[in-house]
């Protein structure tokens, strides 16, 4: 039996549950290790007038204090533009911005000393919300706009129209393992960097630039993260940059592990969005014209806001054909943390807007939103070109939705809920179905490449190294399964090793859900080359054709001979056959014109849909998710157990974003919700008592690794259904039964306000 397509446990599950999985803070510290803490800005926007760090230097255990001036190389950790100082240089742009760093003998000493800095500021005007920044014309990059058809003309000709405003908040990644970097100086000006990062190669670059080093001097190693969720795609760089300068200046190992509050104050989050929209539609609810301005809260610097906004533009259609459409996207420069990647990367923010519009069309026309969605889906033969020009070839929603509506008993429950609501004045139920279509590939073409290195040892065991980063998503398990499948051996023979820039060079971030698509293909390529060499040897030794040699069940069959895989490998070594190989992959067929915002940015689309039912207490705003039914397309899944975990996790994380996770900044620009005491992520008891999750059967028509589909991010959008179920309940609680909730998250307060409005 092949090791692929099996619901096998995560390769580290036995370590995770026993507390034995090594995270960076678990690595035994080298002798002489110092600890670093960060002194942060208390102003949202100001010039630094004086920086008095004498008390910090005099504090017990302090070895060194560094500021921007101490950075020997470039003071920048921006992944695209160079507008992201590692340490503030003369001006601060948000409350929490790193201004100086203290290096001490112990972590406690460093943290205590960091509080002793005396900084005087000359305050400057601060912009704290995306709408404020938009009104001031403050952006981190130029606005982007995409128009197809004649939206103005179609809008004025439409039988019905709606317009409105909607705002959605950001979201803290809340990886369980916080940001951390541990750097050990090596001989001859080399550095070994342990960073909890989705992007080891970018961390290598940042360290090199900050210290004026060549890339061969710096190795970044990353065995696993305790979650990244996008928050460690670029922003692990702040911590690598600071720790690198500290390690270089002291010549000693330096560890930088900010605590949760500091992590949340320093790092960027999912972009909150503000929207202004207009839509025209016919009696069936078919959208004839849509116009939207999307204002993303970029924070103080560009970071990844450009590609995030681009993905928001490319997901505004979600699953629907928009013949006449105008989308403007603005990356508003605010004096807050620099917002960054978070699962979905702008896709959720784009798609949420059209889903809200569809829900409003349905209420206006007195129709079931399911029917309004149905008339708007991309067609199979026609009405199948996205606003950016890519053809939707395989819209699975035509099959997937009926299957889900049936398995979730949607129609009967819709009636039962109407009856329940008619008989209850305090408790109101809500129900919603939302679909997702999510484009897979990095929207920067050259990032869509990966490398791998496979070693077969003489005992028949296999070590695979690839450019991807394990963050709990099961990437190493899937890649090992692919290698085992390719060599016809059991998974227990294959081990995946830590991502390491000295093994596979020039890697892309593990992001955009492409980890297994890219690295799985690269590892498959490497394993295949070894298999071909082994087959050639077996053919020669046992007198058959190489093409007829079969690798399966840890055995090799060549002609009439069958031998254990390990025996053939041992023989191959004595025949001087190369038993290791590199592998490479680049996604074919991608194109993107960033000036016109058109092309084929995605290799394929992944689909899914969810039905959620909630009950809302209209006196307190408390609510419960009663039941969820998820049906998601992972192509021909490499590991159904891991994929179901990703689907459920994504759904719950999406629910958190749109319900309980509320980021609040006060009028001084301080993020007041910077700890789990005030920032509420979903917990296990927020999962619904009835939770049905299935994989949609099928295979990827695109030539992906084992015909699977990426599954990391798309299911986050399934969580929309909880928000729209709550919004349904809120409308059902209102005297006029109209929609009144135009903000997300649907906090208790927001829902009570909407009921009262």
Q: Is 517 in the site for ligand MOS (CB under 6 A)?
A: no
The minimum distance between CB 277 and ligand HPA, in angstroms, equals 24
CB 321 within 8 A of CB 128: no
> Minimum distance between the CB of residue 338 and ligand HPA, rounded to whole angstroms?
15
471 binds, among ligand MOS, ligand MTE, ligand HPA, none (CB under 5 to 8 A by kind): ligand MTE
- Pick the binder of ligand MOS from 343, 363, 413, 709 (CB under 6 A): 343
Q: Least distance from C-beta 231 to ligand HPA, angstroms? A: 12
Q: Is 233 in the site for ligand MOS (CB under 6 A)?
A: yes
Identify each DSSP E strand in 484-641 by its residue range. 494-496, 499-500, 550-552, 555-558, 561-564, 580-586, 591-593, 598-600, 604-617, 623-632
C-beta closer to ligand MTE: residue 98 or 227: 227
Sequence-distant (≥ 6) Cβ neighbours of residue 513 within 8 angstroms: 438, 440, 606, 710, 711, 712, 713, 714
Q: According to CB under 6 A, which residues from 496 to 525 bind ligand HPA?
A: 509, 511-512
What are the structure tokens assigned to 673, written together?
């919700």
Q: Which is nearer to ligand MTE, 10 or 255 (CB)?
A: 10
Identified catalytic residue from 172, 177, 661, 713 = 713
Residue listed under structure tokens 């997300």: 744
Alpha-carbon gap, residue 236 to 202, rounded angstroms? 9
341 binds ligand MOS per the rule CB under 6 A: yes
Residue 443 site contact among ligand MOS, ligand HPA, ligand MTE, none (CB < 5 to 8 Å, cut-off depends on kind): ligand HPA
Which parts of this chain interact with ligand MTE (CB under 6 A)? 227-230, 343, 471-473, 475, 510-516, 646, 649, 710, 712-713
Binding status of residue 471 toward ligand HPA by CB under 6 A = no
Position among 73, 79, 85, 230 found at the interface with ligand MOS (CB under 6 A): 230
Q: What is the DSSP letter of 407?
A: H
655: helix, strand or coil? helix
- Judged by CB under 6 A, the chain residues 152 through 211 that form the site for ligand MOS are 198
Is 588 buried (19+), middle (13-18) or exposed (0-12) by CB count in 10 A?
exposed
**443 is an interface residue for ligand HPA by CB under 6 A:** yes
Q: How many CB atoms lie within 10 A of CB 665?
A: 19
For ligand MOS, give the closer residue by CB, 230 or 621.
230
Q: How many other CB atoms are found less than 10 A from the CB of residue 160?
A: 14
Among 191, 345, 377, 605, binds ligand MOS (CB under 6 A): 345
Q: How far is the CB of 347 from ligand HPA (least distance, A)?
A: 8
Q: Which of 477, 488, 490 is nearest to 520 (CA)?
A: 477
Q: Which of 237, 265, 332, 512 binds ligand MOS (CB under 6 A)?
A: 512
Alpha helices for 580-699 (secondary structure H): 640-658
Is residue 307 a contact residue for ligand HPA (CB under 6 A)?
A: yes
Sign of the dihedral through C-alpha 583, 587, 589, 593: negative
CB 195 → ligand MOS: shortest distance, Å?
15
Write the binding mask 224 to 243 for ligand HPA: x where contact by CB under 6 A, - elsewhere.
Answer: ---------x----------
Minimum gap (Å) between residue 459 Cβ and ligand HPA:
39
Buried b (16+ CB within 10 A) or exposed e, 724-754: bbbbbbbbbbbeeeebbbbbbbbbbebbbeb
Total number of residues binding ligand MOS (CB under 6 A)? 10
Choose the contact partner of 311 out of ligand MOS, ligand MTE, ligand HPA, none; CB within 5 to 8 A by kind: ligand HPA
Backbone angles phi, psi at 206, to 5 degrees: -65, -45
Q: Which stretch binds ligand MOS (CB under 6 A): 73-81, 338-346, 657-665, 721-729?
A: 338-346
Could you confirm whether 662 is annotated as catalytic? no
The single residue among 410, 442, 603, 657 that binds ligand HPA, judged by CB under 6 A, is: 442
Q: Which of residues 702-721 bind ligand MOS (CB under 6 A)?
A: 713
The closest of 182, 238, 244, 274 to 744, measured between CA atoms, is 274
Of 214, 181, 175, 26, residue with least CA distance to 98: 181
Which neighbouring-strand residues pair with 331?
296
The residues with which 52 forms a beta bridge, in sequence order, are 118
Per the DSSP assignment, residues forming a β-bridge with 255 are 35, 182
- Out of 511, 518, 558, 725, name the contact with ligand MOS by CB under 6 A: 511
Catalytic machinery residues: 713
């Amino acid at each position: 039996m092949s090791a692929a397509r099996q619901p096998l446990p995560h390769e580290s599950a036995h370590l995770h549950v026993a507390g034995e999985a090594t995270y960076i803070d678990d690595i035994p510290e080298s002798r002489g290790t110092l600890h670093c803490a960060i002194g942060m800005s208390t102003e949202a926007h100001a010039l630094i007038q004086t920086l008095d760090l004498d008390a910090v230097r005099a504090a017990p255990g302090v070895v060194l204090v560094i500021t921007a001036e101490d950075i020997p190389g470039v003071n920048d950790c921006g992944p695209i533009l160079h507008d992201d100082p590692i340490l503030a240089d003369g001006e601060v742009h948000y409350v929490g911005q790193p201004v100086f760093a203290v290096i001490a003998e112990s972590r406690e000493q460093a943290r205590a000393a960091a509080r002793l800095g005396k900084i005087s500021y000359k305050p400057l005007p601060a912009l704290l919300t995306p709408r404020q920044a938009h009104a001031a014309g403050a952006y981190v990059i130029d606005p982007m706009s995409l128009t197809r058809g004649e939206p103005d003309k179609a809008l004025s000709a439409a039988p019905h129209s709606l317009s409105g405003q909607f705002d959605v908040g950001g979201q803290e990644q809340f990886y369980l393992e916080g940001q951390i970097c541990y750097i050990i100086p090596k001989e001859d000006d080399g550095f070994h960097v342990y960073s909890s990062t989705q992007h080891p190669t970018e961390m290598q670059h940042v360290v090199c630039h900050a210290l004026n080093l060549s890339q061969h001097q710096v190795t970044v190693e990353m065995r696993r993260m305790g979650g990244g969720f996008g928050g460690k795609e670029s922003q692990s760089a702040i911590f690598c940059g600071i720790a690198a300068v500290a390690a270089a200046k002291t010549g000693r190992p330096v560890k930088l592990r900010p605590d949760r509050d500091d992590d949340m104050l320093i790092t960027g989050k999912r972009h909150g969005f503000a929207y202004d929209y207009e839509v025209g539609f016919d009696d069936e609810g078919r959208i004839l014209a849509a116009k939207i301005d999307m204002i993303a809260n970029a924070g103080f610097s560009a970071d990844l806001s450009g590609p995030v906004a681009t993905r928001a533009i490319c997901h505004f259609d979600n699953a629907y054909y928009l013949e006449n459409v105008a989308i403007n996207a603005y990356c508003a420069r605010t004096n807050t943390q620099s917002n960054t990647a978070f699962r979905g990367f702008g896709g959720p923010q784009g798609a949420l807007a059209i889903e809200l519009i569809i829900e409003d069309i349905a209420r206006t026309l007195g129709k079931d939103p399911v029917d309004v969605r149905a008339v708007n889906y991309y067609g199979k033969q026609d009405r199948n070109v996205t606003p950016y020009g890519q053809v939707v070839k395989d819209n699975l929603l035509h099959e997937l939705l009926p299957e889900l509506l049936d398995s979730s008993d949607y129609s009967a429950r819709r009636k039962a809920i109407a009856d329940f609501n008619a008989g209850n004045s305090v408790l109101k139920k809500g129900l919603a179905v939302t679909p997702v279509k999510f484009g897979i590939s990095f929207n920067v073409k050259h990032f869509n490449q990966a490398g791998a290195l496979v070693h077969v040892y003489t005992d028949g065991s296999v070590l695979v190294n690839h450019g991807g980063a394990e963050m709990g998503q099961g990437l190493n398990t899937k890649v090992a399964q692919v290698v085992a499948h390719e060599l016809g051996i059991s998974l227990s023979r294959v081990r995946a090793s830590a991502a390491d820039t000295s093994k596979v060079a020039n890697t892309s971030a593990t992001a955009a859900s492409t980890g297994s698509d890219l690295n799985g293909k690269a590892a498959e390529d490497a394993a295949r080359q070894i298999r071909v060499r082994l087959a050639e040897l077996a053919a020669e030794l046992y007198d058959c054709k190489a093409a007829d040699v079969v690798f399966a069940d840890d055995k090799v069959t060549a002609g009439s001979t069958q031998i254990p895989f390990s025996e053939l490998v041992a023989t191959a070594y004595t025949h001087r056959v190369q038993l290791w190989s590199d592998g490479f992959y680049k996604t074919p067929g991608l194109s993107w014109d960033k000036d016109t915002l058109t092309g084929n940015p995605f290799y394929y689309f992944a689909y899914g849909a969810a039905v959620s039912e909630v009950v809302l207490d209209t006196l307190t705003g408390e609510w419960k998710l009663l039941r969820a039914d998820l049906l998601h397309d992972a192509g021909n899944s490499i590991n159904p157990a891991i994929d179901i975990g990703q689907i459920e996790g994504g759904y719950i994380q999406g629910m958190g974003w749109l319900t309980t996770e509320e980021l609040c900044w006060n009028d001084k620009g301080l993020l007041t919700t910077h700890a789990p005491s005030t920032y509420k992520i979903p917990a296990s008891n927020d999962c619904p008592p009835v939770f049905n999750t299935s994989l949609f059967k099928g295979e990827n028509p695109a030539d992906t690794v084992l015909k699977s589909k990426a599954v990391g991010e798309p299911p986050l959008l399934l969580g929309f259904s909880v928000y729209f179920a709550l919004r349904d309940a809120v409308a059902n609680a209102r005297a006029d039964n109209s929609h009144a909730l135009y903000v997300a998250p649907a906090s208790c307060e927001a829902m009570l306000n909407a009921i009262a409005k």
